[in-house]
Amino acid sequence: MPSYQQLAHLHRGILGCTRCVEAGFLPLAAPVLSGYPDNQIVLIGQAPGAVEAERRVPFQGRSGKVLMQWLARAGFASETEARRRIYMTSITKCFPGKGAAGGDRRPSRAEVDLCRPHLDRQLALIRPVLLILVGGLAHERFLPGRPLADLVGRVFDPSGREVGPRTHARPLLLPLPHPSGASRWLNDPGNRLLLDRALRRLRRLVSALLDQKLVGA
């Protein structure tokens, strides 16, 4: 388990980053993350939104409210508990701005590459036993080349192999769809069933983790 000093040093480095500004992708850097050195679960989203950039706290906007509802279904007693027990970060750390269609702009591959060392250092320091992957960029980073319907409701090992209840692989990877209202994926009843399955599996994992007995999905 890292010390508070180690994590604070890492966070200072990330929060002071201006790589995307210097590369011309962003007018202003405002990295967002939160977590504690004893967190064993890391949740990785795509990128902060405008509300997150203003408050400098992950998952504060409408998508965040939906995500917190999902985490409640997965066994967290409150938003406060979820935020205390889960290290929250994202593939890119700054709000990318609005896209041409009006929604948040999807960060480019170059931006993802610039930010990747930050996430690598976060994971190396925290050494989580469970990664919750929210949205397409997180899926591409850890489980590339697969449609969402082949990811949600399943649990994977770090090599991308689906695992069952007796695996000892670490970290386990549990994908979730993006909670944005702009996504149409959850309009399909079959996909909502996949989300239900994913949250049931997450609930079992969280329960086992809190009991310090995590052995699989």
Which pLDDT score is estimated for 217? 44
> What per-residue confidence (pLDDT) applies to 209?
82
Task: Kindly indicate whether the domain formed by 4-210 is annotated with CATH number 3.40.470.10.
Answer: yes
In the chain, what are the domain boundaries? 4-210
What pLDDT, on a 0 to 100 scale, did the predictor assign at position 1?
73
The CA dihedral of 33, 201, 77, 82, to the nearest 10 degrees, is -10
pTM, entire model: 0.94
- Mean pLDDT, consecutive 10-residue stretches, the chain (217 aa), reads 92 97 96 96 96 94 95 96 97 92 89 98 96 97 97 97 88 95 88 97 90 53
pLDDT at 214: 54
How far apart CA 1 and CA 189 sit, in angstroms, is 41
